[in-house]
Structure 1
């Protein structure tokens, strides 16, 4: 597809004539698209989102190349963007330098004497990684206008505890690939094979011990349980293995906070105990790996090739992404809003923003109707829910205030690794500088060129970057039915996150406050059990079932988004005087088009390895389940396609789960 080709929304010619909508709706809608978009070696998965992302990437590439063509002046943001991109593309220089950019730091770790091990720990935490545990400021869950200091568990290179602790075939396979990665990367960094194997053994010992105390994926969704305030005196008393006064001053440049929130007390305890009981050799080996792991993507092809071999096991992908895509990703990671500002100027018309403003208000009104008419919720809780809904902040397209990168120094004389590290430290310093200041509610958590959207419970805001406001989500040339079934459902989805299993813990001001009556909270929990069971029951691959508890928030939001967007669509057509009972769109009813375009959003081809990785580590259900399982709870869907008892897509009324 050419970069400027119009991205069409729904295409009935791609429907599967051999699979009725009543048998497998996902297959019926997406088979033609999936047949037309076979996976290439580069992709572990490829779907409608990726088509749009490819378009966004092509636009960003033209922006960056355009900056280079202007021969930008040193010190300007354009020069910084072009320098990082150029260095990311310069494999000749990076391969010539090899591991040289990191040798001095690796020697520093190796040569640190015992009496300076605390200094080494603080240096690592302040500059290169978060060994044993993590820490930093974030909005206070109980008072979202201010920042709190959090200390959290962590330190595991594989992220999820199950990779270390479970002995099934898949987790063993990942573990072995991780061990090979450590050995290979340490050899790439200049260590002998014998030393690389010793480092791997010590890393696995430490990270497995950290995993043993880490929370499960399901536990990590319990937000109130993660809010454990400690006075500073209690923190020092409970975790005496760390010099906390020096920790905050030397790693963040801030005075010791009066209160610290410990999110997973047992995990932090495990990290601190390991720090206190391991030998210097074991700790140094762990640091060496943490350092090399964070540096590898910014060094020579030997490092990136080794990382790709590991990624092949994790995702099943057969070929690295093109270098220009990796270079763009790295550049945007450091200077994303600088690129985003140019993206918006060229590709985001005011008309798209105006349309979205009206659409969001229609969805807000529709969700209000749903809340008011909920049969299971009391009036007291409904009033608080409506108050929260009315307080939603809506951000569309791009931030009102752009990030100032003037203080970031990018020097083409330095190596790519050094420049990327310096840029990363600039961002870290920016985060730490927030301490003691009020929370800036205007800040964005995504760039405008990102194909995604989000709900932030601490700001009670929904955010829609410019890049998602294109087909198949939104298309000014398409029908209202398509647009409401696309971006309308996305809006409703993000709104419903304010009332999912996590979002419901926060009030209209973004504070963690219980605004539910005990009876309503109990009814909500009971209803979610049914939704959990539906997704648990799906056998995704032989022996692999969905995880309804872990994906609960997204599943609630999918269902809520569909229901609310349909109400908003019907209201919009009524205002326009459109009779949807007689209207036809390419031979289909508007109700059918609405649900067809929703399914169209999730068209995707995906490898089995990626399916297993996502099922283990992603809070979203797979696209097929987001369509087939979710829609089987929606009454108007059954009516639109005349789905009846005996059809595979049918679900008895008493088994349908409706939350919002």
Structure 2
């Protein structure tokens, strides 16, 4: 059986792009290369310095790079789609009418400023006027309608059986999201906390509260959210998926976390029968939530609810609310100017009816030929990753076989869903306020999620819209997904050289495939179930290798006194390295199959070897500028490494890269062979 699998890889497709002599770059612009910065000193800067100078940060951006350029392109296309829908005088109840109503209301600042906070007055009064004996019903109402206070709950695929849904209860309830913002006393976190406190007071005053009351609310919110943060899991702990799988019977859940009547909670918040089994992901955080719910006064809880309510409503109210949010964002990310109103309106519209817009997007902008080429490219990468797995020196044959089984079971989604989401039951009424419509939209999406309970998992669903410039791997579905919008230069261009395409979208494909075998994805088998399919020896070898990769990124000082977090970004760093190595193998195999000698002068592209162009276009993907505040924010809360490190730190481990540019010992980009970490 093992040999049969090897043979099946050897018979995989080789792709369909034609190669012509003396090709020219399309995704890369040689004018951006900085010849004054040798490749062996700083490869990222050598490739991208000219791009950085040509694309200075504008006030509305905390960072701006190649992804942003594609996002801008996608936004303009979507804007054109939405404006065209509005020009058709759409009839009530149609998708066009729903899309146009949300977009036009988001743009109508005159109406929203006139309405002020009136759309939320009745609900705020409900919270304020709740009697002690009604506090439990208020708790259910908050969980059923708004940003879940104290903890989160909802259905998701069962990690141990991905064909069915399980019910999960998890920590949460913190407006700043990450525990460090509340608990660390360095200058950066203090500054963010102060800005957050100011935001709470400002938004409460915008909602009609007097300064004294707004400050009381702020103090109670900070008391509660800091207590929640104190028991929240760290970012590093949250990457341990098996540790987050803690199943309880309903009776045991009630006994362990008694502050909630769980038998009533699910019917009253989700309109479903209480499940027999519930999985708790962060026991310490949920325990803390129970302690707080049992010990806080009604006034403290109401103040917390008020802020949870106002903060979720703020984006859909008057400009005073959005301006206050922007003042906080200036501190948080360093951005200096709000995004144009039309971009914010478009974001709300896509968040509401994303697939409906996506269907129109692919009809107009995504050729079927791109999808077909991607299919062949994915199979090339699958073949290459299989070769890498089979030749791994640190993995035993037994685990290799299971890895190959998982690889062969990868499902691939390209461009757009085969089945589109049905929005016919969503109610959007131009007579209602913008907030009321957006609340109804949110409730529709929430009911859509809860309606899945008790049904088999629909494996055809997508987690991104076609117009999203991104890609993903889902361990529970064991699938890799590439939306239409990322299939553009510099990632993908049917007219570009193989070297550029494999160094672009090829690396993206390999990256997503490698996620199936990173520190989280490795916990799931070919069916998407959390299963330990590793021998103890292989698991130990994998963990030892990852320690080396963690150390490489931990050593990078991204700002004075601030280092990268190699453990938190481990999965993405494994994906980057795996993507580069696997895409390079697939690229070289494709050239061999076409009879191209990549070492010959005739194969050069604008004077560079195809191998050099491959790595240059990878670096080109991460061209960008970024503010210091955003560097700090991303280092705290993003699982991805900064672009410069995704290039320079990762490539130093890859021997073909060092050879392609004759990088030698003594060069800053050189890493001795014994210090290089190769996982996949």
The alignment's TM-score, normalised by the length of structure 1, stands at 0.99
CA distance in 1, matches of 2:256, 2:213: 36
CA distance in 1, matches of 2:251, 2:209: 42
Residue of structure 2 in register with 1:375 after alignment: 393
2:289 to 242, 251, 271: 271
CA distance in 1, matches of 2:91, 2:299: 47
The 5-angstrom pairing of residues 394-433 of structure 1 reads: 394-433=412-451
1:142 to 148, 160, 164: 160
1:623 aligns with 2:643: yes
Residue of structure 2 in register with 1:607 after alignment: 627
- Structure 1 runs of 4+ with >6 Å offset: none
The 5-angstrom pairing of residues 195-274 of structure 1 reads: 195-274=213-292
Residue of structure 2 in register with 1:594 after alignment: 614
1:499 aligns with 2:517: yes
Q: What per-residue deviation string (whole Å, max 9, x for no partner) do you get for residues 102-144 of structure 1?
A: 0000000000000000000000000012000000000000000
Equivalent position SS for 2:157: strand
Residue of structure 1 in register with 2:659 after alignment: 639
TM-fit CA distance, 1:216: 0.4
CA distance in 1, matches of 2:202, 2:293: 26
CA distance in 2, matches of 1:122, 1:154: 16
Equivalent position SS for 1:148: strand
Residue of structure 2 in register with 1:124 after alignment: 142
TM-fit CA distance, 1:389: 0.1
Equivalent position SS for 2:149: coil
Compute the RMSD of aligned alpha carbons: 0.6
TM-fit CA distance, 1:477: 1.5
1:184 aligns with 2:202: yes
Q: What per-residue deviation string (whole Å, max 9, x for no partner) do you get for residues 404-460 of structure 1?
A: 000000000000000000000000000000000000000000000000000000000
Pair 586,8 (structure 1): closer, same or farther in 2 beyond 3 Å = closer
1:63 to 81, 86, 94: 81
TM-fit CA distance, 1:8: 4.9
Equivalent position SS for 1:202: helix
CA distance in 2, matches of 1:315, 1:266: 30
TM-fit CA distance, 1:227: 0.1
Residue of structure 1 in register with 2:548 after alignment: 530
2:72 to 45, 49, 54: 54
CA distance in 2, matches of 1:265, 1:653: 43
Equivalent position SS for 2:167: strand
Residue of structure 1 in register with 2:360 after alignment: 342
1:357 to 375, 387, 402: 375
TM-fit CA distance, 1:9: 1.1
Residue of structure 2 in register with 1:98 after alignment: 116
CA distance in 2, matches of 1:110, 1:9: 58
CA distance in 2, matches of 1:483, 1:54: 21
Equivalent position SS for 2:96: helix
Q: What per-residue deviation string (whole Å, max 9, x for no partner) do you get for residues 315-357 of structure 1?
A: 1010000000000000000100000000000000001001100
CA distance in 2, matches of 1:337, 1:544: 40
The alignment's TM-score, normalised by the length of structure 2, stands at 0.96
Residue of structure 1 in register with 2:489 after alignment: 471
TM-fit CA distance, 1:39: 0.2
Structure 2: 5+ residue runs without aligned partners?
1-24
CA distance in 2, matches of 1:13, 1:40: 22
CA distance in 2, matches of 1:231, 1:195: 42
CA distance in 2, matches of 1:653, 1:178: 47
Structure 1: 5+ residue runs without aligned partners?
1-6
Paired residues in the alignment total 654
2:125 to 107, 119, 141: 107
Residue of structure 2 in register with 1:509 after alignment: 527
CA distance in 1, matches of 2:179, 2:333: 18
Equivalent position SS for 1:13: helix
TM-fit CA distance, 1:243: 1.1
TM-fit CA distance, 1:653: 0.3
1:581 aligns with 2:595: no
CA distance in 2, matches of 1:42, 1:432: 37
Equivalent position SS for 2:169: strand
CA distance in 2, matches of 1:550, 1:365: 29
Equivalent position SS for 1:467: helix
